Structure 1
Amino acid sequence: MNARTAVVVEDDRDVGDAISKLLDLAGFDVQVAQTGAHALTLIGEGRPDLVTLDMTLPDIDGVEVCRQIRTVSDCYIIVISGRTAEVDRLIGLEVGADDYLVKPFSIRELQARVAALFRRPRSTDVAPSAGPAAGTVVPPVPRTAVAEAQPAQPQPLPTDPLGCDDLTLNRGAREVRVDGSELDLTRTEFDLLAHLVSNPGVVVPREDLMRAVWASDFVPDSTHVVDVHLANLRRKLRKARAGNEWIRTIRGVGFRFDPCCG
């Protein structure tokens, strides 16, 4: 089994060292970048499985770095930032981050968040360094256990199309089509849509969506995470097919997928 790879993007050497040590103990091969330009070079060449990203860098703003990462990689991205305003969290998630952790942070909390991300299936079109196939990803394990571990047996995912005539979702292929054309979704957007489409006509509370998508009882500390990702998802659906109302907001509760309302 090949070790997972990670890039730590952090201009504070002490913080970068602390994150690097944690990820090294979790079985990652770690590289550190102190500038956005260096980070983009490492990520473009190495296609890591995980990136931790500081939002305040000396050359390129972290938001732009995150946006550029998403043009070349579907890796997990955890923003680790001293910016505490809600708008900063929402912007980070909107440009493609999977999670947002505020400084100062607990090493145990970071460890839990990394483990939670790696319980989620990866997209099937990730670069070769992405590790096991979708559906077989397990949380990071200590390096000493890697040599003894046996590769997980792939579990087949359902391949029957879900949705309706105008919108179809295939969980096995991790593919969404609107009117026959494939829709480009992030991993989180796909997972949210898949959970809603799998429960047509059922109101799914935000908390249930968080647990289903983050695949752990350890979930982000605000349901705004769900709202931001769903807002991005709905914007893409509307761009693909104007006037659709497949996803409805049920005020004060959650969201519902209505297949007859495309």
Structure 2
Amino acid sequence: MSEDDRKTAVIIEDDPDVRSLLDEVFRAAGFRTVLAGTGLEGVAAVAAHEPVITTLDINLPGIDGFEAARRIRAVSATFIIMLSALGEESDVVLGLTSGADEYLVKPFRPRELRARIEALLRRPRNAHPAGTGPAFGTEPAGTASPGAAPLAADGAGAAAPEPVAPESAGQPAPARNPSATAALPTIGSAGQWHAHRDISLDAVTHTVLVAQREVELTPTEFDLLATLLESKRRVRSKADLALVLRGEAFGSASYVGEPDKRAIEAHMANLRRKIGDSTAEPRYIETVRGVGYRLTAHTDGAPAPR
């Protein structure tokens, strides 16, 4: 297998020892790795190398990990694993709200990181975030690590995001094309659409529409919304949703701890904000106190989801 056929991971970490450990973990998992020591270098590396997974420290020279995550999310659908010594709940929530899919507190066990990587690889990934296009001539950023072992085939199978020009001077990400939603597909077009009220989701193209306007979600937010739409009025607990994000079936005997449940709460709050929902007067997703989440009932004359 050639190097071009391998999955790529970008490692954004300023500590050489931690960076080396992460490099070993990903290479053992069959990845080609790209190493970056600052936030700006990491954003540029993600844009240039189209990684499947990106690890991101928070305390970085220049822009911090939270800002780096926001900039990465503007140009890439890469899965982001945030690694930090900051373990307070507010830090975890901020990391997930910035666009991270996973948050691990240092020191972490390499085996746990490997398990999180494998869980992410079982999940589908958007081809590229809405509004991004083909790359225009830029040299790859970061340092590629040679000698990665070939990666065994897995079920991820999604195409890599199309890169855009890296932000080499700390400038904000380019504005999205305001006409990008002009040619959005309708629910009647080909795809695997799930709908509730005026929100619809296509599992094939990873498109989410609210009142026929496209909404950009992280891979984790998309998976949560897809699960609730598929479940309709059946309540899904935080443990259920955590299992979905791990790529495991409902009812699995796997342990789901309080940090996992708090992460679901943070992701759900961010999802609601993006789709314009409210916990006080929910239109799409309601909280069943002490149980979990489900779709709201149809009380406004809208057709019930099929």
Q: Normalized against structure 1, the TM-score is what?
A: 0.83
Q: Counterparts in 2 of 1:80-91, with a 5 A limit?
A: 80-91=83-94
**SS of 1:18 mapped into structure 2:** helix
Contact kept, 8 Å, 1:98 with 1:188, in 2: the verdict is yes
Contact kept, 8 Å, 1:244 with 1:261, in 2: the verdict is no
Contact kept, 8 Å, 2:122 with 2:154, in 1: the verdict is no
**SS of 1:45 mapped into structure 2:** helix
Deviations 1:11-35 (A, max 9, x none): 1111110110111111111121111
**SS of 2:48 mapped into structure 1:** helix
Contact kept, 8 Å, 1:237 with 1:244, in 2: the verdict is no
Structure 2 gap segments, 5+ residues each: 134-147, 159-189, 249-253, 301-306
Change (3 A) 1:154 1:245: same
Task: State the alpha-carbon separation in 2 of the partners of residues 109 and 229 from structure 1.
Answer: 21
**SS of 1:222 mapped into structure 2:** helix
Does residue 1:252 correspond to 2:290, yes or no?
yes
Query: 1:247 deviation in Å?
Result: 0.3
Query: 1:153 deviation in Å?
Result: 11
What number of residue pairs does the alignment pair up?
245
TM superposition outliers: structure 1 runs of 4+ over 4 Å? 143-146, 149-155, 217-220
**What amino acid is aligned across from residue 236 of structure 1 in structure 2?**
K
Change (3 A) 1:197 1:70: same
Query: 1:258 deviation in Å?
Result: 2.0
Change (3 A) 1:57 1:260: same
Counterpart in the other structure of 2:200: 168
% same residue: 38
Counterpart in the other structure of 1:205: 237
Query: 1:173 deviation in Å?
Result: 2.3
Counterpart in the other structure of 1:226: 264
**What amino acid is aligned across from residue 189 of structure 1 in structure 2?**
E
Contact kept, 8 Å, 2:53 with 2:79, in 1: the verdict is yes
Change (3 A) 1:21 1:218: farther
Match for residue 14 of structure 1 among 10, 13, 17? 17
Match for residue 104 of structure 2 among 101, 104, 114? 101
Contact kept, 8 Å, 1:113 with 1:218, in 2: the verdict is no
Task: State the alpha-carbon separation in 1 of the partners of residues 51 and 157 from structure 2.
Answer: 22
Task: State the alpha-carbon separation in 1 of the partners of residues 154 and 266 from structure 2.
Answer: 35
Contact kept, 8 Å, 2:69 with 2:100, in 1: the verdict is yes
Counterpart in the other structure of 1:191: 223
How big is the alpha-carbon RMSD for the aligned residues of Structure 1 and Structure 2?
Answer: 3.0
Change (3 A) 1:261 1:183: farther
Task: State the alpha-carbon separation in 1 of the partners of residues 92 and 154 from structure 2.
Answer: 36
Counterpart in the other structure of 1:70: 73
Contact kept, 8 Å, 1:246 with 1:260, in 2: the verdict is no
Task: State the alpha-carbon separation in 1 of the partners of residues 240 and 153 from structure 2.
Answer: 32
Task: State the alpha-carbon separation in 2 of the partners of residues 42 and 33 from structure 1.
Answer: 7
**What amino acid is aligned across from residue 55 of structure 2 in structure 1?**
T
**What amino acid is aligned across from residue 102 of structure 1 in structure 2?**
V
Tell me which of the two structures has the higher relative contact order, counting C-alpha pairs closer than 8 angstroms and 6 or more residues apart. 2
Contact kept, 8 Å, 1:78 with 1:98, in 2: the verdict is yes
**What amino acid is aligned across from residue 112 of structure 1 in structure 2?**
A
Counterpart in the other structure of 1:132: none
Deviations 1:118-154 (A, max 9, x none): 11111133699xxxxxxxxxxxxxx6564xx678797
Structure 1 gap segments, 5+ residues each: 129-142
Does residue 1:52 correspond to 2:55, yes or no?
yes
Task: State the alpha-carbon separation in 2 of the partners of residues 150 and 120 from structure 1.
Answer: 14
Task: State the alpha-carbon separation in 2 of the partners of residues 244 and 253 from structure 1.
Answer: 16
**SS of 1:27 mapped into structure 2:** coil
Query: 1:165 deviation in Å?
Result: 4.4
Task: State the alpha-carbon separation in 1 of the partners of residues 153 and 263 from structure 2.
Answer: 35
Between Structure 1 and Structure 2, which shows a larger proportion of helix residues? Answer: 1
Deviations 1:103-126 (A, max 9, x none): 111111111111111111111336
